[in-house]
A and B are shown apart, each in its own frame.
Chain A
């Protein structure tokens, strides 16, 4: 019998041992292929140029992340395989005692790995190709395009990439395998199953101390994060290091701490509780490392999923409101390099419109209107938003404001004598509170010798320009006559098309750039043209990219961590069958054994999840503050949803692991 035959027989014989390994590989290959084949999906969709740019961008971002992802998957393969080898050591020992040379044993091992790798590569690619077909529809719906008819999506490039990356991972894995068997003494191989794992768990008192230390370290990390004490790279690295050390110590001392905490209490002497706890603490030297890794991977996964999806959704929600017109042209009283221009005559656009002559807005516009925004620096009004934010402040005449509202189809603002209104185009809760407070306080304003006041009902949240950026201006709406002689800062031309054809967009863009150039004639002004279609494309672009990246990273890390735990628990279950059988002999019934297994699995799966959730709660809260400040996006809502979905996937893994280990132990 050749080594290859023997290896093939071994693979068949130990199918159950190989199942988890096989699943892990297949899953990793499948995900890797699906995301790397995203580029080929655009072939079957009717995409605008902006949309196909999205796909190109997505493809390149996913591509650069794939290296990182493949490192994670490579680690997973080596880890899963390590367990397998551990379980097969005895068998290899028997080959050696029977007089087989080490080279032959290594050859058998190489063949086994090759068979498994090829089988999982084929299975993973087939599964990936199938999944990619469904993924195309998801992408299409995210981009808002239709796929007409059925197209088979297949990416040779992605297949090539998958084969190369995983080929490397397999070779690396092979190297580890052969080395592991090669350096082992025969006696260790034969007695591998019986080796009594000497417990490296700390003594009870020490465990309690370590556990408290872990809590202190984690506390320091959380406080540093909450107080945002990580401005410098040094501080940030310090914080991450302390956090990682705290996590590590937490799992190192967890079972010892539980043991010390519970040992003297009554529940310890109930049912199989002490067996479960001892079981956990005896396995500590293998589990605390993997639990730490799992916890950190879960943390990455939760953060990626929740902030990624949250930002994607947040961008979608925020930007939709910021395209109140089909197009706007904004002229600012500043040069392109940001220097303020002292002279900016009100109505700059009107002469420009006249001068451009040929620009006939009526060819595409159903309605158009200009509004002039005036300097407010001398009013003395100071309104601080959340986090001390101070946006640009402008004065706008009531007539211009109401005309702008009318084009949006919004009700006009009505001012009483000596009153002014406040407009801020963002729905952010923090800003809402700040402004409501300001308006309720009356916010007295002296303008042209007149004292004006405002009230809560004069606060509006209307977006006044088409924009992809989320930094709206703060606008004080005052009676027109008070603006005479004031310096104009900015003028906006609002346009609504007469229909929804792309042709209007083309005409409009041409006309606006002509006007922009013409208005700059002699007077150097910065102009910004934005259209609703551009904004929505950009929106789709960003949303799809961020969402996919989040799902890619999040799901890979989530399933990777669940797999690490599942492999650990299953291999432990099969190592423990004799213990459970003994318990059964001395009278523990099936229900008791199942309960013990359940508790054991629950702690192994639950502890890393709980700590990861705590980590992410802090992490997301901080990240949320930052994204809110930078982009005005609130990610807390989706974070909860993402955590729920995640718990479902993770919970599925937990139940599957529990059921199969119960099958092994209780029924077996």
Chain B
């Protein structure tokens, strides 16, 4: 198991306006798995991801990543753990606009103080897998949204992290760019053995995952595994659960 979350609780606010953003969430992710997290807006997806990614701290519960309890880590160890073990892809503001594509990806490696001569090759390898070799010398404002997101993905996995965390990575993309990104995620899982935890509000994106966790009111509401079904069938199954989730039906953001 790469990730074990046990009974996570996260409370916001004080006594009289307490929000239980997470209310006893438990799940596991195996190495090489592509796990999706779905839920209505405000159901606690981002909170869950932030807690797992050590950006936020839990109120109670345990999170084991690669066997180490991250809830017990403090300041300096956390930053180190984060850069060595985790990779991040955010929905927005994810690239540094002053750096080229190459430099944005290389940054993850230089922060780890990897030897300079190895960096170029590693960046080129990842770029090839994600199909962004052409945009490496470009600045983010010269790239399309999909290219930007794939550069962000490349930065997240170039360090070969044990776990990649993505919060609505397709949220700002059109369907074609979203498809390209998701296919490259699959490619990463297949060829590089990456483990990905992806939050999404969109059934189409979710259908690329191996398994989906549905969250409602801070709890795991349902779990759905793709097994050997085709992506089309899996998509229909997801739509079914989504309608059970309630809310405004289709807009689950």
Contact = CB atoms under 8 A, between A and B. Distances in A.
Mutual binders A and B: yes
B113 A271 contact: yes
A586 B113 contact: no
B9 interface: no
A582 B103 contact: no
Q: Does more than half of chain A's interface fall in helix, strand or loop, or is it mixed?
A: helix
Given A196-B141, A275-B96, A589 B110 contact: no
Interface in A221-267: 266-267
A586 B155 contact: yes
B47 interface: no
A30 B116 CA distance: 52
Given A272-B111, A274-B110, A588 B99 contact: no
Given A269-B110, A278-B103, A586 B83 contact: yes
B98 A588 contact: no
B82 interface: yes
Contact of B111 (A267, A282, A578, A592): A592
A587 B116 contact: no
A278 B102 CA distance: 13
A590 B79 contact: yes
Contacts of B82: 585-587
A583 B98 CA distance: 13
B83 A588 contact: yes
Contacts, number: 80
B107 A274 contact: yes
Given A274-B99, A282-B98, A586 B108 contact: yes
B80 interface: yes
Q: Does more than half of chain B's interface fall in helix, strand or loop, or is it mixed?
A: helix
A582 to B, nearest CB: 7
A582 B98 CA distance: 13
A587 B99 contact: no
Contacts of B112: 587
A196 B97 contact: yes
Contacts of B53: 585
Nearest to A579: B96
A180 interface: no
A584 interface: yes
A587 B97 contact: no
B113 A270 contact: yes
A271 B110 CA distance: 5
A589 B112 CA distance: 11
A436 interface: no
A165 B53 CA distance: 58
Interface in B72-112: 75-76, 79-80, 82-84, 86, 88, 90, 93-94, 96-99, 103, 106-112
Which of B82, B109, B110: most chain A CB closer than 10 A? B110
B30 interface: no
B98 A269 contact: no
A517 interface: no
Which of B75, B108, B111: most chain A CB closer than 10 A? B111
Contacts of A268: 116
Interface in A577-622: 578-579, 582-590, 592
Contacts of B103: 274, 278
Contacts of A583: 96, 107, 111
Contacts of B76: 589-590
Interface in A258-297: 266-275, 278-279, 281-282
A571 to B, nearest CB: 16
Contact of B107 (A196, A275, A584): A275
A585 B88 contact: yes
Contacts of B107: 272, 274-275, 583, 586
Contact of B79 (A196, A272, A282, A587): A587
Contacts of A272: 107, 110-111
A270 B110 contact: yes
Contacts of A588: 79, 83, 111
Given A274-B103, A274-B106, A589 B155 contact: no
B241 interface: no
A266 B118 CA distance: 11
B225 interface: no
A267 B155 CA distance: 20
Interface in B158-176: none
Nearest to A276: B98
Contacts of A270: 110, 113, 116
A325 B109 CA distance: 78
B96 to A, nearest CB: 6
A588 B99 CA distance: 16
A191 to B, nearest CB: 14
Contacts of B177: none
A272 B96 CA distance: 12
B239 interface: no
A266 B109 CA distance: 13
A582 B94 contact: yes
A592 B112 CA distance: 11
B119 interface: yes
B143 interface: no
Contact of A585 (B55, B80, B110, B117): B55
A587 B119 contact: no
A589 B79 contact: yes
Contacts of B113: 270-271
B160 to A, nearest CB: 13
B99 to A, nearest CB: 5
Contacts of A269: 106, 109-110, 116, 119
B93 A578 contact: yes
Contacts of B84: 587
Nearest to B77: A589
Contacts of A281: 98
Nearest to A280: B98
Contacts of A274: 99, 103, 106-107, 110
A590 B83 CA distance: 13
Interface pairs A-B: 10 shortest CB-CB = A587-B83, A589-B79, A269-B116, A266-B116, A282-B98, A278-B98, A587-B82, A588-B111, A269-B119, A278-B99
Interface of B: 53, 55, 75-76, 79-80, 82-84, 86, 88, 90, 93-94, 96-99, 103, 106-113, 116-117, 119, 141, 155
Given A275-B96, A586-B111, A589-B76, 12 more contacts: A269-B106, A269-B109, A269-B110, A274-B99, A274-B103, A274-B106, A279-B98, A281-B98, A585-B90, A587-B83, A588-B111, A590-B75
26 contacts: A196-B97, A266-B117, A269-B109, A269-B119, A270-B116, A273-B110, A274-B106, A274-B110, A279-B98, A582-B94, A582-B96, A583-B111, A585-B55, A585-B88, A586-B88, A586-B111, A587-B80, A587-B83, A587-B84, A588-B79, A588-B111, A589-B79, A589-B80, A590-B75, A590-B76, A590-B79
